[in-house]
Amino acid sequence: MQDRPTAVELLDTLATYLEEEIGPELEGPLVYRTRVALNLLSVVRRELSDEEALPREALRLAALLDTPVPEGSPRVALEALNARLAERLRRGGDAAFDAAAWPVLMAGAREKLAVLRPGYDGYDSAGERPGGAS
């Protein structure tokens, strides 16, 4: 257990430093890159704030694949499940499995967006398909 500031608090400190002390000194392409850097910090911050994301996704994928969650850390387990799922979807030929996979994939995509870009999933392109509405 580390002392405070916590990792998230340190990132906040770095963001404030970039925004309030470095930002006003910059011009040109560095302004854009610093905005990217601040976005990077907020992504990492949100990722660190949700410690249950990996085990949660591993459980969803294991259920879809009808397999136990592999041994090892949540990251290792999830990588193994992801590889299996990707391989199976790439092979295809099982319409029922594809249909069952879609909502699981969508749940994972939405969770990723909650870290990467909150609100991005407020728009649904399904209405643009031939035949229209979702």
Partner 1 sequence: MSGPGKVPESAQAREARLKAGLEAVFQAELSRAVTVSDLVVTSAGARRGNVLFTATAPRGEGQRYCVTYLPTLDIELLPIPQEAALFRLAEAQGVPVPHVHFATEDPQWVGGPLFVSDCVAGETVPRRVLRKVAAEGTGEAIAAQLGSAFAALHSIDPTLAPPALARPERTPVEDALARTDQQLRELLQPSPIFSYAQRWLETHAPRAGDGLTIVHGDVRNGNVIIDEQGLAAVLDWEVAKVGDPLEDLAWTCLRCWRFGEDDKEVGGFGPRAPFVAAYEAGGGHFDPERFHWWKVLGTYRWGLGLAGQAAAHLEGRFSNIVMAMSGRRVGELEYDLLSLLKP
**Segment 79 to 118, residues that bind partner 1, using CB under 8 A:** 79, 82-83, 85-87, 89-92, 98-99, 101-102, 105-106, 108-110, 112-113, 116-117
Nearest distance from residue 98's CB to partner 1, in Å?
7
Nearest distance from residue 54's CB to partner 1, in Å?
14
For every residue of the chain, DSSP letters joined together read -PPSSPHHHHHHHHHHIIIIIIGGG--THHHHHHHHHHHHHHHHHHHHH-TTHHHHHHHHHHHHHTSPPPSS-HHHHHHHHHHHHHHHHHH---HHHHHHHHHHHHHHHHHHHHHH-TTGGGS-GGGGSTT---
Q: Which residues bind partner 1 (CB under 8 A)?
A: 29, 32-33, 36-37, 39-40, 43, 79, 82-83, 85-87, 89-92, 98-99, 101-102, 105-106, 108-110, 112-113, 116-117, 120-121, 123-126, 128-130, 134
